[in-house]
Amino acid sequence: MQIDEIVKGVLSGSRRHLAKAITLIESRREEDFRKSLKLLDAIVPYSGNSIRIGITGTPGVGKSTFIESFGLYLIDKGYKVAVLAIDPSSQKTGGSILGDKTRMEELSRHEMAFIRPSASGKTLGGVARKTRESMIACEAAGYNAILVETVGVGQSEVAVADMVDVFTLLLLPNSGDELQGIKRGVMELSDIILVNKAEDDNLDKAKLAKSQIENALMMLSQRDDGWNVPVILTSGLKKFGFDDYFASLVEFFDLMRKNDFFQKKRQSQYLSWMWSMVDDYIKEKIHSDKHMKEIIDNCQEKIVLKEASPFSVAEILIDNLKNIFE
Ligand code: GDP
């Protein structure tokens, strides 16, 4: 299929063409990479008109159940919903987080939804880049609520927070214990916290967890954007707490638009995307160069054997870069 045809199809909202566009974005072939840049240039002007929501939480917290139900809730409200994922383990498994077809069955069948499993790639940076680009393609195809899911391990939360407008952390009702294990950094990234599975017998525990989390939040420093992180009780299974969550999202976007943080955040994200692409490109170039590989091995050995400092060795590597980029 020609690029023009894919662009036209995507802009007309065709899911088939959107899937093609994303396949092109995810391809590792050099030729496809060039094509995907052309494609992205053509569709970027039509992107951006969406709410980008990041969702994280440990495996088993109920993310996919929640996203399926809340996705359908958003569709009821008139949104077109796309679900993307960043899965650090996909580097090994080739994309597992949404790979299981039984997940989000109802949502995936809905004509107002588009679900794409995590891209695979050698590095988290690479996977994140493909997800960002897929997000742009989804927006150009008219999807105006983008949910980006990640498992709460490793650096993937940071990668997701760097591509969304609002970041949601799901916790379990027994959070008192769980909070000990939650990295402070993840709490700091979170704009909204949900205590999920908060139905029936879990309700009392969930209320207790909510106040514990609120206390923990008070220990964090004041945010520049003036937002107070709400803690909301939800149940993806019983479709409970969705109105509260949605109201918080609306309130968050209202505040961010009023205080200009929305635009500023997107602008700084776009700059950081550009630099991460440049960084990745440079690293890839360095590591795929045979001559450079010898120099790198040699330099690394010098550091390990303490024959040279990391600083002087970095200089040697930098001096050799001109051979690659000439
Ligand atoms: P994920 O690993 O975070 O995506 O979690 P899943 O959505 O796959 O859910 C993990 C398990 O928790 C499954 O057995 C679900 O049926 C169950 N579960 C999901 N959401 C809820 C909920 O709101 N309440 C209860 N009680 N169980 C849930």
Per-residue pLDDT of 100-135, as tens digits, reads: 545 788 999 999 999 998 777 777 888 889 999 999
Ligand 1 center–CA 200 separation, angstroms? 14
Question: Which residue's alpha carbon is nearest to atom 24 within ligand 1?
Answer: 197
Q: Given a cut of 90, is residue 285 above it in pLDDT?
A: no
Ligand 1 center–CA 142 separation, angstroms? 30
Q: Given a cut of 80, is residue 25 above it in pLDDT?
A: yes
Same domain, 112 and 242: yes
- Looking at residue 303, which CATH number applies to its domain? 1.10.287
Q: Mind listing the pLDDT tens digit for each residue in 146-185?
A: 999 998 666 888 889 999 999 999 999 986 666 766 777 8
Domain boundary among 259, 280, 314: 259
Same domain, 194 and 150: yes
Domain-embedded: residue 69: yes
Ligand 1 center–CA 238 separation, angstroms? 11
Domain boundary among 207, 233, 259: 259
Q: By residue range, what is the domain housing residue 76?
A: 47-259
User: What pLDDT is recorded for position 85?
Assistant: 87
Task: Tell me the average pLDDT across 189-207.
Answer: 95
Same domain, 298 and 185: no
Read off the pLDDT band of 99 (50, 70, 90). Answer: low
Ligand 1 center–CA 196 separation, angstroms? 9
Same domain, 150 and 299: no
Q: Is any ligand 1 atom within 6 A of the Cβ of residue 60?
A: yes
Ligand 1 center–CA 237 separation, angstroms? 7
User: What pLDDT is recorded for position 48?
Assistant: 94
Question: Which residue's alpha carbon is nearest to atom 6 within ligand 1?
Answer: 62
User: What pLDDT is recorded for position 70?
Assistant: 98
Domain-embedded: residue 4: no
Read off the pLDDT band of 96 (50, 70, 90). Answer: low
Same domain, 212 and 294: no
Q: Given a cut of 60, is residue 14 above it in pLDDT?
A: yes
Number of domains in the chain: 2
Q: Mind listing the pLDDT tens digit for each residue in 247-262?
A: 999 999 999 999 999 9
Domain-embedded: residue 9: no
Q: Given a cut of 90, is residue 83 above it in pLDDT?
A: yes
Domain-embedded: residue 5: no
Domain boundary among 259, 279, 305: 259
Same domain, 85 and 215: yes
User: What pLDDT is recorded for position 321?
Assistant: 86
Selected residue with higher pLDDT from 76 and 59: 76
Q: Is any ligand 1 atom within 6 A of the Cβ of residue 64?
A: yes
User: What pLDDT is recorded for position 236?
Assistant: 97
Q: Given a cut of 60, is residue 91 above it in pLDDT?
A: no
Average pLDDT, the chain: 90
Same domain, 66 and 100: yes
Q: Which atom of ligand 1 is nearest to the CA of 67?
A: 7
Q: Is any ligand 1 atom within 6 A of the Cβ of residue 61?
A: yes
Ligand 1 center–CA 58 separation, angstroms? 11
Same domain, 285 and 193: no
Q: Which atom of ligand 1 is nearest to the CA of 202?
A: 26
Contact 130, 98 (CB under 8 A): no
Q: Is any ligand 1 atom within 6 A of the Cβ of residue 9?
A: no
User: What pLDDT is recorded for position 284?
Assistant: 82
Ligand 1 center–CA 93 separation, angstroms? 22
Same domain, 121 and 54: yes
Task: Tell me the average pLDDT across 300-309.
Answer: 93
